[in-house]
Structure 1
Amino acid sequence: MRPASALASLHVAVALFGVAGLFGAWLAMSPAAIVLGRTLVAALALWALALATRVPARPVPGLALNGAVLALHWVAFFAAIQASSVSVGLLGFSSFPLWTLLLERLAGERRGRPRDWAIAALVVAGLVLTVPRFDWQDASVRGLAWGVLSAMTFAWLAVRNRRYARSHPARSIALWQNAFAALCLVPVVLLSPGAAAWPGAREVALLVVLGVVCTALAHTLFVASLATVSAHTASVVAALEPVYGIALAAWLLGERPTVGMLAGCALLVAAAVVASRGAGAPPGHAAGR
């Protein structure tokens, strides 16, 4: 793949990751049901791709826990969007560099450095600017809380996935994590109120697009671009996910971010860019985000 094509593929993949948040507003379903549909469709699409390319997606031991955390991550992400807005959900998720740094320090993989404190300060300031006031009755605060939980679980996956990414293909990791996530959510959805109401044709079509285009295709483009684009460049472009998502929410959903949200977005993107300097490829995207 030529450098220009690889960079274009990378931007398309990150934009598609950002588009995924819009489905939380488009789908009149619970977050758990949305994630079940997404992970099931994504796993089937990746399995079909493995068959079509004759590249076996061998089982990866130890991914059951990763799948459960991936399910929680996406449920929290869509709960954030449904509790508030796409913009707030994406901004809460964008705090993941802070949680990644903290987990790395707890695991003994990173020593405290001045840059780490700068990243933490940027993330905290960005989150504070996102909401007008910290009142649990405010939908923005509830949405931000769900978004931060989404970021924390994503950071956990990021740290844990590094171990698997060294010895297993990213496509296999994505396939089996999505499969285990779907398996975890089946009883949750079946035991939830309204479980007897099957999704209509519109919901099924949206879930197929979410699973195939915004998960399987986006992940494939992202991984393919890494063969040409440097890991640092990929990390910086991945930091644009909330920017793409907020812009698309304004265009397609009519959401108008406040000045505070835009300022918070700028600080959170800056934190992600600073965190990516000298780092490897964006961790956690092997989860199929």
Structure 2
Amino acid sequence: MILLGATALFSKLLPLSAIDITFGRAAIACIMLFGIVKLFGKSIFLDCKKDYFVALFLGLLMAAHWVSYFAAMQYSSVSVGMIALFTFPVMTVLLEPFFEGIRLVWQDLVSAIVVLFGIFLIVPEISLENETTQGVLIGVCSAVLYSFRNLVHRKHFSHYSGAHAMAYQTLVIFISLSFFSSDELFKASQETYIGLVILGIFLTAVPHALIAASLKHLRAKTFSLIACMQPLYGVTLAILVLDEQPRWQTLVGGLLVISAAIYETINAQKLHVNNR
């Protein structure tokens, strides 16, 4: 989670657009992830034809999510972008009835209200001309995309390891964004290419391989709670590395959002255990 949290820094460290960063990240991570799958002696092929179409759809969702993830932080700040993104656990709860046929309970609606209030605190003014407000809106859209991707993944693609699943999704991201990447990527400095290599290998391929390995030893609840710490790591790294100075409203709003995310994570696991 620390490694994934550090990805946010590259929205500011790399002098590239969100599309170019995502394209470069996906290209390098794709090669590494397929290599990791082969290293562990697994077949790189999927089980059936239907799974290739699911992988295509998931990859397109992830492409839009990653681009909006970096764009949110480029418009505002790492702190604001990461907090806006981590509205996704509550977004997932609100979208879940359309996938699982379950009903919302009043606690979920309270969580949604808490998240909305947290986002309200982060937004400096209700104006689309304000770049921070734009960053928050893009971050929330990224959260919706990520929630939708996770729900589709859980229902149709969860029988593959994290590394195997992400290998195909990064392949789709690479191919789809090849039509939109700019010439700036190919004119970048050596330092920028080194940054993309670090982002693609150590902050994308490696953490996803570690996640796949950790799930063999950890309960899903434990991992989900650890995942909720990602914004804390990201914001802390932004303060230390980028010298960001989040407003107190951003920190309070972030605390509300992350508290709601942790609550929904714990509650979801309780419901899962009770329904067994």
TM-score, length-scaled by structure 2 = 0.91
Matched, 1:277 2:269: no
Distance 1:166 1:252 in 2: 35
1:148 is aligned to 140
Distance 1:248 1:166 in 2: 31
Contact 2:91 2:147 in 1 (8 A): yes
Superposed CA offset, 1:25-62 (max 9, x none) = 00000110100011111110011222333222223422
Letter in 1 for 2:190: A
- Candidates 164, 168, 171, aligned match of 1:179: 171
Contact 2:162 2:209 in 1 (8 A): no
How far has the Cα of 1:163 moved from its partner?
2.1
Gapped regions of structure 2 (runs ≥ 5): 270-276
Q: Over aligned residues, Cα RMSD in angstroms?
A: 1.5
How far has the Cα of 1:166 moved from its partner?
3.7
Distance 2:2 2:186 in 1: 32
- Candidates 50, 55, 62, aligned match of 2:42: 55
Matched, 1:254 2:246: no
2:150 is aligned to 158
**What is the correspondence of 1:97-246 to structure 2 with a 5 Å cutoff?**
97-189=89-181, 192=182, 194-195=183-184, 197-246=186-235
1:94 is aligned to 86
Change (3 A) 1:201 1:279: same
Gapped regions of structure 1 (runs ≥ 5): 1-13, 281-289
**How many residues of Structure 1 are paired with residues of Structure 2 in the alignment?**
264
Distance 2:211 2:27 in 1: 20
How far has the Cα of 1:277 moved from its partner?
1.4
Contact 2:122 2:253 in 1 (8 A): yes
TM-score, length-scaled by structure 1 = 0.87
Letter in 1 for 2:242: L
Superposed CA offset, 1:187-226 (max 9, x none) = 011xx4x458432211111111111111111111122122
Distance 1:138 1:248 in 2: 25
Distance 2:88 2:41 in 1: 35
Superposed CA offset, 1:7-36 (max 9, x none) = xxxxxxx11111000000000001101000
Change (3 A) 1:51 1:107: closer
**What is the correspondence of 1:28-43 to structure 2 with a 5 Å cutoff?**
28-43=15-30
- What percent of counterpart residues are identical? 30
- Candidates 66, 78, 81, aligned match of 2:73: 81
Contact 2:90 2:111 in 1 (8 A): yes
More divergent stretch after superposition (173-182 vs 161-170): 161-170
Letter in 2 for 1:152: V
2:96 match: secondary structure:
helix
Matched, 1:19 2:13: no
Distance 2:192 2:184 in 1: 15
Distance 1:227 1:197 in 2: 40
